[in-house]
Chain A
């Protein structure tokens, strides 16, 4: 099977879906002539022309709204935010226009649109460029929220997101673009809302999403050396959430750690823990522990940034704690 980068996997998904459906177009800052701030859209302008690969002014609120309007009358826009940190400027269009249109039009106008771009912290970009937004977006009924962690997932999920007739927020990982993985040469799609059991074990469950799936795998590798076998449940999509995958894992291992990139309060982990305590209470042998970013804006200094971020060591400590193995 070909090994490709996460970046190229996304590029393949965009190209294939634009070839498949003339209504699909890509719009955002630097997506065309510059070939993408992170080169995800490399070559697309040359193949599809400037009507379908549209460079915009720096105007997130505006072009997100342009996408919503175009989607209401039959097109299928892919709106790229150079980062979701800038996507914040467009949140009104995402949550007030895209997410609510179908409902408040009584089912008349759906909005088949993808808002996509890198999410979460990279390296030393400090406070305003290092935020994970999945919990903000997942709060909103009407949106789907997808957070692929591997090249395989990135391609299959993006293709599904583009074909979905609802607004989909697609959160990529800036630190993932250069990561590599096997991606089939033949066509495939991954349905939204289905988790992936990325590692099987019976001692504890690590439930996670997005870039943290890689951290969870690193933790799982380390733990395996100590004879600890963990399930790694990669939610992949956080809205809708694959609760049955969580249930199946927790009922097997009886211990759970929830790992997420963002902050603690009202985070994705809060939702996962709520489900576990309600639905898996009798199966639990220990309280569920969450691993997340420190409750501070992201600092710049290397040591402080490291201290703020969730990582494999913190995850391993949490797993040992739910196993009473400290």
Chain B
């Protein structure tokens, strides 16, 4: 039985403040930059939403940035990422252009999906970012399918499939993980347990509360880690990604995190389902603050450098805003474009792509 359960407490000791053994200032700076970009970008999203520049549903990721950054920082460019509708942070952490992401949120022609998808459906073929999916659970079989394709063509890529903890109660999750465990597919299922599926607490939705234990049903290695600590996320992901790449074995990782904003822009930050006191308690473990403290304690970051970095990132986000604001609305002829592709597979013998 290939199951290798990660010791929970062993992971938990990998805290940002104690470090991960050896200091790597350049890496730490990259991680901080990635997380700060997501934070500043989404703060402006909230502002743009209030101004009516962003419409529809808009789910912010603030508070969970260590999960996206920690996970995606160890991927190769040719690996795949698929996720839910709470996708801005992961899109930016995967390297999508802030300009084109913001333009998408503004519903403009220069958006990453040309104004067809909005906040919930960010896709970018250039970085193998397979969306932004809006039906809870439905993208999990797709992630399994990507793993199947990798195995089919004998590749060594990995597919990261992000989801919230409420997904684990869907049939699609069960069906998808069963096949991945059965067929040994190179997929890492990353459950961002932010405690609430919309307004329903995990304890009110799932019969078991240590979600990673669900992996036992699928004979799948599983782990739980601290999602506010980017180093803990990286450690857990590194092991899982290596296992997927090397041995084509899937892993289920429960990342314990917390969202600092409401479920979407239409509900209050704390709301009826959680208390302000709870929120305040979790905000003491802001992932960006924890990383910054770690870097400052290790002498990797001065106050001046931090201010400079923050200013630089704010400028990037302002540039994204300005770009999006100036981008034209999609042309009306785009309405009927991309419903069908106008092509067929017409070559006689097709090689299996090995990208």
Contacts and interface: CB of A to CB of B under 8 A. Distances in A.
Interface of A: 20-23, 25, 51, 56-57, 59, 61-77, 92-93, 96-97, 101-110, 112, 141-142, 144, 160, 162-166
B103 to A, nearest CB: 11
B341 A105 contact: no
The bracket for how many chain B residues form the interface is 35 or more
A107 B179 CA distance: 29
B172 A65 contact: yes
A79 to B, nearest CB: 10
A56 B141 CA distance: 13
B167 interface: no
B348 to A, nearest CB: 6
Interface stretch (B20-28, B222-230, B332-340): B332-340
Interface in B145-175: 145-153, 171-172, 174-175
Contact of A93 (B121, B138, B340): B138
B82 interface: yes
Given A65-B141, A104-B121, 16 more contacts: A20-B350, A21-B345, A62-B172, A65-B138, A69-B142, A69-B144, A75-B153, A97-B142, A103-B338, A104-B131, A105-B113, A107-B337, A108-B123, A142-B340, A165-B344, A166-B340
A66 B141 contact: yes
Give me the 5 closest cross-chain CB pairs, A-B, nearest first: A69-B145, A65-B141, A62-B175, A106-B113, A69-B142
Nearest to B338: A107
Contacts, number: 175
Nearest to B132: A104
Contact of B142 (A72, A74, A104): A72
B135 interface: yes
Contact of B138 (A23, A97, A110, A142): A97
A247 B353 CA distance: 44
B145 A76 contact: no
A106 B139 CA distance: 18
B213 interface: no
B123 A166 contact: no
B307 interface: no
18 contacts: A22-B351, A51-B152, A57-B175, A57-B178, A57-B182, A63-B179, A64-B141, A65-B141, A66-B145, A69-B143, A75-B148, A92-B135, A97-B139, A108-B113, A142-B340, A144-B340, A162-B345, A163-B346
A273 to B, nearest CB: 24
A110 B349 CA distance: 20
Contacts of A22: 349-352
Nearest to A62: B175
Nearest to B143: A69
Given A57-B182, A104-B113, A93 B141 contact: yes
Nearest to A111: B341
A109 B130 contact: yes
B349 A20 contact: yes
B31 to A, nearest CB: 28
A58 to B, nearest CB: 9
Contact of A141 (B123, B134, B339, B355): B339
B340 A104 contact: no
Contacts of A106: 111-117, 123, 338
Contacts of A102: 338-341
